[in-house]
A and B are shown apart, each in its own frame.
Chain A
Amino acid sequence: MFGAFRPTQPTFVGLLWKTPWKLSRTRKANVRARLKRVDSVIEAVKESGVQCAALTKALELPKEHEMPPRDKYTVFSRHAKGYRKGIHKVPKWTRMTLRTNPKGF
């Protein structure tokens, strides 16, 4: 029943990695910390007084405290039921800008 030979899906079918369908509390906290770190980078560039197109674009992004939880932890997906999937299903999601989603979805 227990131990190394218990009948579970990974032991039966070999290579099987499962991704939880939603983020845990800790992972969500880490998401927020990362978002805040990026906000601080944008804030530092803004405070430097430099003006450029990239900065105006970055300032259009919602800040961590302005984002609804829906946008923090899920992203738009045209294939998923309800047009949303967990943000952790996106490859390289911790190092990408995934703050905005299509309006109405």
Chain B
Amino acid sequence: MFTAAASLRSCASSLAKAQCRRSLATSAASSTAQSSTTTGEPLTHYRITLRRSAISLPQNIKGTLEALGIHRRLQTVYHRHTPDIAGKILTVKELVTVENVPESAVRTKWEQRQERKAPRGYSVTGSKLQVDL
């Protein structure tokens, strides 16, 4: 029982670590890709974040945000590089920030949520009892 729990815990911690590593790796990759597009992966997606609210702006702008799948401020969505998405971004260019990212940096809503979370569980680094003995 105890071993099972321990293994679960270690699994959880390793998962969290892996996720951490993944997010770190991807952030590093995206930054390098931004600086030099030729060396890294091809940049295929827009990372769109809503910075300014569309409250009391015309319906067409509000509708464009809905069409991009943005419902609240500071929400981030990913879209492929296509002319229709580019046009939508430019319609709301005062409200959003846009980055070009490779395919590997694309996150779903759930994945973004998991990356925001603090790592679950703990890992035993040592025991004072064992040191004394």
Contacts and interface: CB of A to CB of B under 8 A. Distances in A.
Interface of A: 34, 37-38, 40-42, 44-45, 47-55, 57-58, 92, 94-97
| 4 cross-chain pairs, A with B, having the tightest CB-CB distances, nearest first | A52-B83, A54-B87, A54-B90, A50-B86
A96 B94 contact: yes
A12 B76 CA distance: 48
Interface stretch (B2-10, B95-103, B107-115, B122-130): B95-103
Mostly, the A contact residues are: helix
Contact of B93 (A38, A50, A52, A53): A38
Interface residues of B, number: 26
B94 A44 contact: no
A9 B99 CA distance: 49
Contacts of A96: 94
Given A92-B56, A92-B57, A49 B93 contact: no
A50 B95 contact: no
Contact of B100 (A34, A47, A55, A94): A47
Interface string B68-86: 0000000000000111111
A64 to B, nearest CB: 13
Contact of B46 (A34, A48, A55, A57): A48
